[in-house]
Amino acid sequence: MNYNEEYDKLKAKILAHAPDAKTDLLDKAFHLADSMHKGQLRKSGEPFVIHPVAVSIMLADMEMDMSSIIAGMLHDVVEDTAVTIEEIREMFGDEIALLVDGVTKLKRIQTYTKEEQHAENLRKMFLSMASDIRVVLIKLVDRLHNMRTLQYMNTDAQVSKARETIEIYTPLAHRLGMTKIKWELEDLCFKYLEPDAYESLIKQIDQNREQKEEYISKVLDSLKGKLADAGINAFLDGRPKHLYSVHKKMVTQNKTLNQIYDLMAIRVIVDTVQECYTVLGIIHEMYTPVPGRFKDYIAMPKANLYQSLHTTLIGPDGHPFEAQIRTWDMHKTAEIGIAAHWKYKEGVSEKERNSELDSKLAWVHNLFDNQKELEDPNEFVETFKMDLFTDEVFVFTPKGDVKSLPKGSTPIDFAYSIHSAIGNKMVGAKVNGEIKPLNYKLMTGDFVEVITSQAPGKGPNRDWLSIVKSSEAKSKIRQYFKKEHRESNIERGKEMINRELKRINYTYSQLFKDEFVDPILQKYRFHTLDDMLNVIGFGEMSERKLLNLLVEEYKKSQSQSDEKAAEEILSKLEVKKDKKEKIKERHSDNGIIVKGIDNCLVRLSRCCNPVPGDSIVGYITRGRGVSVHRTDCPNVASMEVSSDRMIDVRWADTSAKSSYVVDICVTAIDRSRLLLQIANLIADSKLNMKAINARTTRDKYAIIDLSIEINDRSELDRLVNKISMLDDIVDVSRTVK
Ligand code: MN
């Protein structure tokens, strides 16, 4: 093949559909490709430049724009010769350089298409790397030419190329509506991947080819006559056979060749949509249509914008055949798909190009097969935009798998996308074999390797939260800090709260009351106050937010009458101090004697549930009388000791109250029958259980909360001892809320 002649053919083709085309730049590209590829041979023994010329010819056949045709000519120059992309840019401008660069980059991918499950990701990667869809078109045509000349390669190379083509390229061609290329690629793949089935199918078709061709031409002849009578100018054709789809139908529907309806088919191409329906009417009058086989893809185009009328008819001798009726526009779209939108135009302004975007977006709507699964068309456009104009980067794992990450992702995002254990042990990363900082922004096509360390003390850094991009990594790092540092988070949370309490002038016991705290815990779905402190200490919730909520609750509960009651107690106290009267001290109903006051409201605090025998202290509350705490109650520690609201209290010798409810918490290694043993033990001690609540922690501890009625401290101590002596008990303690 003389490539100079081929090049002249190319120019002739361009000028045939665009007589005003300027070919100077194309000449320049041809001469560059010719001189740079000089000496390189294809496997066929031909000069290499035959290949880019062939690619450009195919692009010209699709009537693509001049930039695409030139980029086709140059598509292997950067990869295979000494020419750099910068030189291409200087010589041919930004647009062509961008296209050539895109095709060059896509070459990196093809070596790594090993596993089928990654094919979809690779297709997406293709689209996302090709910032311009024309890059994909050039790449498809490039692949088609290579597949056409595959016979010169060895068998292994043939099979692996064919497999890659059927996994990556033909689905892309399908999505882009490029049926002609898709069919040819599929048939070529079929030939190399299933040579026996391919040969046998060819043989079967050949066997009665003559008879069938005769039959089809009989149909075409009589149809031609009828159409002429109706004054319709139509192009008629026996449809070319697409072997692979016939083969697939035979396999999936388990049919013989003769049972495939559309094996015999005709195609009618007319000028207008109206004529399509007229032709349909004429055909249905001539031959009996097969029920259920008529499809109107004109009214309802396929996802890839394919339009046509399909019908199956019973022919002259009783054999069915399929007819496809369409306009020339539809025909072109059916064959070259999205490429139809880059039709060659001279002197198209930027503005005009942009106005074409709408029609391109119409394509976009139809690119993907799963279109029907997406309810909202906008969602579909978003999906596509993501895929094509890309908020994603695609990177390789060391094994060659592809990971998709949001744009701006770092090696840390990558590590967490593999497994949180990898992220949590990460100490560094290699990108394309070089050590890179952890805040390195990954780029599509990067090979990423995570360096981990098992050394103790290694782990995520809080700074990582501001480095990572993916929400997956963020939440996994947060989880790590919440879990690994729970104790210190809780401590930090408490400190933060105490600091803030001082600032806003409240005491811990004022605000941290069950009736204030519980609803907040519930609202934010925390099980315990510690869980909330963990989150506060970790920094995910602000201590101010919690305190504001508590202050609100607190203020709500302070009615004026409450205020008065508090003043009353205080004034009584004052009065008595003044008069220095000797008062008979009387104990309240719960067996508490308040020093210096008789007959005032006394309440046992619910945070520490004091029982007779406990060392206690009183606190004058606003509106709730005197509340009595154990002196070792942590809430007391946080009250201002100097406050004149602290008051001495003691247990009366004989208490009026017969029993006190005390809360204890048992921690044990979880096992069966534990709860039953504890319950029996309490019953044996002749004690009343008021409430029991058990749960198991993630690390297999049982936490059992008990509320028990007792008379005094010694009884409680005895019970605690007994429980402690059961097997598997880790801790028994009184609960302080
Ligand atoms: Mn090539």
Q: What is the 3-state secondary structure (H, E, C) of 400-419?
A: CCEEEEECCCCHHHHHHHHC
My answer on whether 24 and 124 are in the same domain is yes
The better pLDDT of the pair 722, 379 is held by 722
Q: How does residue 28 score in pLDDT terms, banded at 50, 70 and 90?
A: very high
Within 8 A by CB and 6+ apart from 177, the residues are: 304, 305, 306, 333, 334, 336, 337, 338, 363, 366
Mean residue pLDDT of the chain comes to 80
Residue 705 lies in a domain: yes
Q: Residue 77: pLDDT above 80?
A: yes
Q: How far is the CA of 53 from the centre of ligand 1 (A)?
A: 10
* Nearest CA among 223, 226, 225, 204 for reference residue 265: 223
Poorest-pLDDT segment among 15-24, 507-516, 551-560, 634-643: 634-643
My answer on whether 95 and 180 are in the same domain is yes
Domain ranges, residue 693: 660-734
pLDDT for the residue numbered 440: 94
Q: Residue 619: pLDDT above 90?
A: no
The structure's pTM equals 0.51
Of 432, 456, 484, the one marking the end of a domain is 484
Of 627, 651, 675, the one marking the end of a domain is 651
The one catalytic residue in 80, 271, 472, 562 is 80
The better pLDDT of the pair 614, 391 is held by 614
Q: How far is the CA of 698 from the centre of ligand 1 (A)?
A: 58
pLDDT for the residue numbered 567: 67
Q: How far is the CA of 121 from the centre of ligand 1 (A)?
A: 23
Q: How far is the CA of 29 from the centre of ligand 1 (A)?
A: 15
CA distance 649 to 604: 11
CA distance 493 to 499: 10
Q: What is the CATH number of the domain that holds 172?
A: 1.10.3210.10
CA distance 220 to 212: 12
Q: What is the CATH number of the domain that holds 219?
A: 3.30.460.10
Taking residues 424-448, report their average pLDDT.
Answer: 87
Poorest-pLDDT segment among 67-71, 597-601, 661-665: 597-601
My answer on whether 261 and 300 are in the same domain is yes
Q: Is the CB of residue 323 less than 8 Å from the CB of residue 268?
A: yes
pLDDT for the residue numbered 192: 94
My answer on whether 150 and 167 are in the same domain is yes
Task: Report CA 188 to chain centroid distance, whole Å.
Answer: 36
Residue 360 lies in a domain: no
Q: Is the CB of residue 640 less than 8 Å from the CB of residue 621?
A: no
Q: Residue 141: pLDDT above 50?
A: yes
Amino acid of residue 695:
R
Long-range contacts of 574-583 (CB under 8 A, 24+ apart): none
My answer on whether 299 and 399 are in the same domain is no
Within 8 A by CB and 6+ apart from 16, the residues are: none
Q: How far is the CA of 210 from the centre of ligand 1 (A)?
A: 38
Residue 348 lies in a domain: no
pLDDT for the residue numbered 382: 37
Residue 298 lies in a domain: yes
Q: What is the CATH number of the domain that holds 664?
A: 3.30.70.260
Residue 452 host element (H or E): strand 448-452
Q: Residue 689: pLDDT above 90?
A: no
Q: How far is the CA of 69 from the centre of ligand 1 (A)?
A: 13
pLDDT for the residue numbered 706: 86
Residue 404 lies in a domain: yes
Active-site residue, 391 included: no
CA distance 526 to 534: 10
CA distance 126 to 110: 10
CA dihedral over 252, 253, 254, 258, signed as positive or negative? negative
Percentage of the chain lying above the pLDDT 90 cut = 23
pLDDT for the residue numbered 707: 86
Q: Residue 173: pLDDT above 60?
A: yes
> For residue 264, with 0-12 CB atoms within 10 Å meaning exposed, 13-18 middle and 19 or more buried, which class applies?
buried
Q: How does residue 642 score in pLDDT terms, banded at 50, 70 and 90?
A: low
Residue 323 lies in a domain: yes
Within 8 A by CB and 6+ apart from 720, the residues are: 664, 732
Q: Residue 288: pLDDT above 80?
A: yes
Could you give the number of structural domains in the chain? 6
Q: How far is the CA of 169 from the centre of ligand 1 (A)?
A: 14
Q: Residue 519: pLDDT above 60?
A: yes
Q: How far is the CA of 178 from the centre of ligand 1 (A)?
A: 19
Q: What is the CATH number of the domain that holds 458?
A: 3.10.20.30
Q: How far is the CA of 12 from the centre of ligand 1 (A)?
A: 22
Q: How does residue 381 score in pLDDT terms, banded at 50, 70 and 90?
A: very low
Ion ligand 1: residues, CB < 5 A? 76, 142
My answer on whether 153 and 238 are in the same domain is no
Of 484, 519, 534, the one marking the end of a domain is 484
Q: How far is the CA of 52 from the centre of ligand 1 (A)?
A: 6
My answer on whether 311 and 180 are in the same domain is no
My answer on whether 456 and 589 are in the same domain is no
CA distance 629 to 631: 6
My answer on whether 406 and 446 are in the same domain is yes
Taking residues 131-144, report their average pLDDT.
Answer: 84
- Tell me phi and psi for residue 434, to 5 degrees: -110, 145
pLDDT for the residue numbered 360: 44
Active-site residue, 614 included: no
Q: How far is the CA of 163 from the centre of ligand 1 (A)?
A: 18
My answer on whether 275 and 292 are in the same domain is yes
My answer on whether 190 and 204 are in the same domain is no
Q: How does residue 198 score in pLDDT terms, banded at 50, 70 and 90?
A: very high
Residue 469 lies in a domain: yes
Q: How does residue 374 score in pLDDT terms, banded at 50, 70 and 90?
A: very low
Residue 397 lies in a domain: yes
Within 8 A by CB and 6+ apart from 351, the residues are: none
My answer on whether 531 and 422 are in the same domain is no
Taking residues 83-110, report their average pLDDT.
Answer: 85
The one catalytic residue in 5, 79, 285, 567 is 79
Percentage of the chain lying above the pLDDT 70 cut = 81
> Please, what's the b/e burial string for 696-729 (b: 16 or more CB within 10 A of its CB; e: otherwise)?
eeeeeebbbebbbebbbbebbeebbeebeeeeeb
Taking residues 60-78, report their average pLDDT.
Answer: 92
Q: Residue 325: pLDDT above 50?
A: yes
Q: Is the CB of residue 652 less than 8 Å from the CB of residue 630?
A: no
Q: How far is the CA of 335 from the centre of ligand 1 (A)?
A: 22
Q: Is the CB of residue 11 less than 8 Å from the CB of residue 23?
A: yes
Spell out the alpha helix ranges (H) of 387-542.
Answer: 411-418, 420-424, 464-467, 471-484, 486-504, 508-511, 514-523, 529-538
pLDDT for the residue numbered 354: 46
Q: How does residue 480 score in pLDDT terms, banded at 50, 70 and 90?
A: confident
* Nearest CA among 11, 29, 111, 44 for reference residue 77: 29
Q: How far is the CA of 411 from the centre of ligand 1 (A)?
A: 33
pLDDT for the residue numbered 352: 56
Taking residues 538-560, report their average pLDDT.
Answer: 81
